[in-house]
Chain A
Amino acid sequence: MRKLLAFAFCACFAVHAFAAGDAASGKQKSQACAACHGSDGNSPTGPDFPRLAGQHYDYLLKALRDYKSGARKNPIMGGQVSGLTAQDMADLAAYFASQPGSLHVIR
């Protein structure tokens, strides 16, 4: 029983470590994103491309995962995420979430 608890305890950390993104690595992987979202994620090059800078990390990560799974459909993003690993997506989400931008909350 004690072993099982210890395993469960460690497993929690393992899951957490796997999901955590690294913003510095994300920046290095973000060149393809910059073409549409701007290099800082806050200056999209088309009117209907979203700003990413300062968006919540877990929302950005979910968006990327949904494009990958097909739960969210977009021809451009569907193609972009096809080559990304889970770690790439976490890193990219961490990078854009860490950037200063104009996104905020109002009532």
Chain B
Amino acid sequence: MTNTIMRTPLVLLLSCLCLPALAEGNPEAAKGKISNCIGCHGIPMYHTAFPEVYSVPKIAGQSPDYIVKALQAYRAGDRSHPTMRAIARGLSDQDMADIAAYYGGSGKSDK
């Protein structure tokens, strides 16, 4: 019993180290990867056309980790927008991290 209690912190520490390393995003590298984003997310007040009409979300200034999570969810099919699913399926983990760093690192003063 004592052994178990003493080992718990060690196990926790080791499991933290075993977590998959998240790809580090490079905003400069994203510049060659955002051509598919600009057409909708780069136009103020732009709307989707299919399958429903609503405003395309603002993504500049968003939390980078959330952008990655959103792209992963589209790739996995946990979010339903067909265009975003198709785009996300073509992105690697590194691409997603770069795009997230580009948009997430964008300060409000940019525009």
Q: Do A and B come from one complex?
A: yes
Chain A contacts to B: CB under 8 angstroms: 44, 47-51, 54-59, 61-62, 66, 71-74, 101-107
Which residues of B (48-66) have their CB < 8 Å from a CB of A? 52, 54-66
A-B contact count (CB 8 A): 83
Task: Determine chain A's interface SS by DSSP, over half rule.
Answer: loop
Cβ of B73 under 8 Å from chain A: yes
Chain B contacts to A: CB under 8 angstroms: 38, 41-44, 52, 54-66, 68-70, 73, 78-80, 103, 106-108, 110-111
Complex contact A55–B69 (CB within 8 A): no
Complex contact A51–B73 (CB within 8 A): no
Question: Given the complex of chains A and B, what is the CA–CA distance between A44 and B58 in angstroms?
Answer: 16
Complex contact A72–B60 (CB within 8 A): no
Complex contact B63–A51 (CB within 8 A): yes
Quick one: closest B residue to A101, CB to CB?
Answer: B61
If A59-B56, A66-B80 touch, whether A48 touches B61 (CB-CB below 8 Å) is no
Q: Which B residues lie within 8 Å of A44 (CB)? A: 63, 66
Complex contact B79–A51 (CB within 8 A): no
Partner of B62, one of A50, A56, A72: A50
Partner of B60, one of A50, A57, A59, A103: A103
What are 17 A-B contacts defined by CB distance under 8 Å? A44-B63, A48-B66, A48-B68, A50-B66, A55-B57, A57-B55, A59-B54, A61-B54, A71-B79, A72-B80, A101-B61, A102-B107, A104-B60, A104-B108, A104-B111, A105-B44, A106-B106
If A59-B54, A59-B57 touch, whether A50 touches B63 (CB-CB below 8 Å) is yes
If A51-B61, A106-B106 touch, whether A56 touches B55 (CB-CB below 8 Å) is yes
